[in-house]
Amino acid sequence: MKKIKDFLRALMLLYKRLLYFVARITSKIDEKTVVFEAFQGRSVACSPKALYEEMLRNPHYSEFTLIWSLRDTDREDMSQAQKVQLVKFESYRYYKALATAKYWIFNSNPRPFLKPGRKRIFVQTWHGTPLKKIGCDVTKSGNAMTKVSDIQKIYITEAKKITFMISPSEYCTEKFISAFHLKEEKKENCVLTTGYPRNDYLYRVTDKEIENLKEEFGIKKDKKVVLYAPTFRDNKYSAKEGFRLENHLNFDKARETLGDDYVILFRAHYFISQKMDFSNYRGFVIDVSKVEDVNQLYVISDVLITDYSSVFFDYANLKRPIIFFMSDYEEYKNQLRDFYLDIKELPGKVTREQEEVFEAIKEVSDTFVPDEKYREFNSKFNYLDGPDTSRKVLERIIENAVVGE
73-121 tens-digit pLDDT: 998 887 666 679 999 999 999 999 999 999 999 999 999 999 999 999 9
402 burial level (CB within 10 Å; 0-12, 13-18, 19+): exposed
Q: Which pTM does this prediction carry?
A: 0.92
What's the whole-number mean pLDDT along residues 190-201? 98
Alpha-helical segments (H) within 205-350: 207-216, 251-258, 294-300, 311-315, 329-331
pLDDT tens track for 337-356: 789 999 999 999 999 999 99
Say what the pLDDT of residue 247 is: 59
- C-alpha separations of 246 from 31, 76, 328 in Å: 48, 36, 10
Q: Which positions ≥6 away from 269 have C-beta within 8 Å? A: 230, 231, 232, 243, 309
Q: What is the pLDDT of residue 404?
A: 39
Order of strands, sheet of 84-88, starting from the edge strand that comes earlier in the sequence: 84-88, 65-70, 30-37, 101-106, 121-124, 164-167, 191-193
**Distance set, CA 243 to CA 13, 149, 196, 249, 282 (Å):** 23, 21, 28, 17, 25
What distance, in Å, lies between the first and last C-alpha atoms of the chain?
Answer: 60
Report which of 176, 84, 92, 163 is spatially closest to residue 130, judged by C-alpha positions.
Answer: 176
- DSSP run (H or E) holding 322: strand 322-325
Rounded to an integer, the average pLDDT of 180-200 is: 97
Is the per-residue pLDDT at 272 higher than 70? no
Helical H runs in 35-134? 46-57, 76-79, 92-100
pLDDT bucket at 7, cuts 50 / 70 / 90: confident
- pLDDT score of 8: 85
Mean pLDDT of all residues in 264-273: 76
* Mean of the per-residue pLDDT values of the chain: 90
d(CA 337, CA 143): 8
What sign does the CA torsion over 210, 215, 218, 219 have? positive
Q: Name the helix (H) or strand (E) containing 191.
A: strand 191-193
Average pLDDT over every residue of 52-59? 95
- Range scoring the smallest mean pLDDT among 101-105, 360-364, 393-397: 360-364
- The angle that helices 92-100 and 2-25 make with each other, rounded to 10 degrees, is 40
**Helix 251-258, helix 354-363: angle, nearest 10:** 30
Q: Which fold has domain 204-381?
A: Rossmann fold (3.40.50)
Region 41-63: what's the mean pLDDT?
A: 95
* Per-residue pLDDT tens over the stretch 196-239: 999 999 999 999 999 999 999 999 999 999 999 988 555 454 45
In angstroms, the CA 96 to CA 89 distance is 11
Domain boundaries, given as residue ranges, for the chain: 13-200+387-397, 204-381
Instruction: Provide the pLDDT for residue 235.
Output: 47
CA distance 378 to 145: 34
Question: Is it the case that residue 365 has pLDDT exceeding 80?
Answer: no
Is the fold of 13-200+387-397 the same as that of 204-381? yes
Give the whole-angstrom CA distance, residue 394 versus residue 111. Answer: 24
Alpha-carbon distance of 71 to 87, in angstroms, equals 8
| Percent share of the chain, pLDDT over 70 | 90
How far from chain centre, in Å, is Cα 402? 29
Of 183, 197, 19, 48, nearest to 113 by C-alpha is: 19
d(CA 46, CA 295): 8
Task: Count Cβ neighbours within 10 Å for each residue of 254-270 and write b for 16 or more, e otherwise.
Answer: bbebbeeebbbbbbbee
Instruction: Indicate the length of the chain as a whole number.
Output: 405
**Mean pLDDT (whole number) for 258-267:** 94
Q: List Cα–Cα distances, 238 to 5, 152, 234, in angstroms.
A: 16, 22, 11
pLDDT-derived band at 257 (thresholds 50, 70, 90) equals very high
Count of C-beta atoms within a 10 Å radius of residue 154:
16
Amino acid at 183: K
Contact 311, 304 (CB under 8 A): yes
Q: Which of 88, 77, 97, 78 is nearest to 35 (CA)?
A: 97
Residue 184, pLDDT score: 95
Among 3.40.50.11820, 3.10.20.740, 3.40.50.1400, 3.30.70.20, name the CATH number for the domain at 13-200+387-397: 3.40.50.11820
Tell me how far apart the alpha carbons of residues 142 and 295 are, in angstroms, rounded to a whole number. Answer: 30
d(CA 319, CA 368): 9
Rounded to an integer, the average pLDDT of 371-392 is 97
Residue 5 pLDDT class (50, 70, 90 cuts): confident
